[in-house]
Amino acid sequence: MFYRMRFDGWIGGMLRISGLFSNTAESVNWWPAGSTARWVEWGKSQGLNPADAACLALAQTVAAKLGDADMDREDADQLLGAALLHARQNASREVHARLLEIITTLNHHKGESV
């Protein structure tokens, strides 16, 4: 339970930092229903701390929403920027590197940069 609470806190913080949402309800509506439990389970299975798991979960969620054309590139860039800021300040070097790989892959597919 403690892991999930910390994970939720990190996700909420990154969503706030992105500046995309005017209130908590908007950010909660953006985050896919039921995905927190799946990401928490995944993070634990990978041996990640909640901050690292949240960073990668946000990046992968943005990638999935972009792939489904469920969000525009500008919004994705803001969210990925928030995840990158979080990774620089709070995540392990390994997770920071993985986040950069995700961003590079997205940029390669879209021909744009974050």
φ, ψ for residue 43 (rounded to 5)? -60, -45
What angle separates helix 35-45 from helix 2-18, to the nearest 10 degrees?
A: 110
8: region left, alpha or beta (phi > 0 left; psi from -120 to 50 alpha): alpha
112 or 62, which is more confident?
62
pLDDT tens-digit series, residues 17-51: 999 988 888 888 899 989 999 999 999 999 999 99
- Residue 90: the pLDDT is 82
The total number of structural domains in the chain stands at 1
CA 76 to chain centre: 10
Domain boundaries, position 68? 2-110
- Residue 28: the pLDDT is 83
